[in-house]
Amino acid sequence: MSSTKQKWLYIIIILSLACLSGYLVKQSSTKHIEFITPDLKNSSSACIKEVETDPAQAIKTSVGLDFCIAIPSNSSTGYTWEYIPTLDSDKVKLIENHFYAAETNRIGVAGMALFRFSAQVSGKLEILLVYRRHWEKDISPVMTRKFEVMIQPK
C-alpha cells in the first residue's frame, strides 16, 4: 500500500473513531443504565453507576474504601479501556474491570466499562485510562482519560 493511501486510511479510521466516541458519550448522557458489580450487589461498597464518571471532578474517598470509574465503551469494535499504572499506583489497587453492555437484544451495542479500585494509602494520585486495541501496543491510544483521586486517611 502506498504511503499516501496508508495516511488516508489512518485519517479515515481516526475520524470514524471520533464519530463513534461522540456517539458513545451522547448515548451515555441520554440513556440511564444502572451497572452493579455482580459479586458486590448486597455490599456497602457496591459500584452503582448510571452515567459516565466525570474526569473534571476529583474522586474523593478514604483508605480502605472502594471506588469506581465508569466510562462509555464498545468492546465489539476491538477497542477497550485499559488501566495504566503510574508512579503513585501503590495508593490504589485495581479490584476488577468489566464491560457492561446496555440491556438490549442488539449485537455490538455500546455500554460502560466499569473499573473498581480499592484505596490503599492516603494521598493524591491520577488514574490513567487509555482506549485502544490490546494487540496494538505500539500504536498511540485513540482516547485517554485522567481521573484525579484524593484519598483521605481512615
Mean pLDDT along residues 45-64: 79
Which pLDDT band holds residue 119 (cuts at 50, 70, 90)? very high
Look at residue 101 and tell me whether its pLDDT is greater than 60: yes
Look at residue 110 and tell me whether its pLDDT is greater than 60: yes
Mean pLDDT along residues 38-59: 63
Look at residue 35 and tell me whether its pLDDT is greater than 60: no
* CA dist., res. 72 & res. 26, Å (int): 10
Sketch out the chain's domains with CATH numbers.
3-152 (2.60.40.2020)
Q: What is the pTM of this model?
A: 0.68
Q: What is the pLDDT of residue 26?
A: 39
Q: What is the pLDDT of residue 98?
A: 87
Which pLDDT band holds residue 30 (cuts at 50, 70, 90)? very low
Look at residue 38 and tell me whether its pLDDT is greater than 50: no
Locus of grid cell 485495581? 94
Determine what percent of the chain is predicted with pLDDT higher than 90.
45
Q: What is the pLDDT of residue 66?
A: 92
Q: What is the pLDDT of residue 59?
A: 93
Which pLDDT band holds residue 130 (cuts at 50, 70, 90)? very high
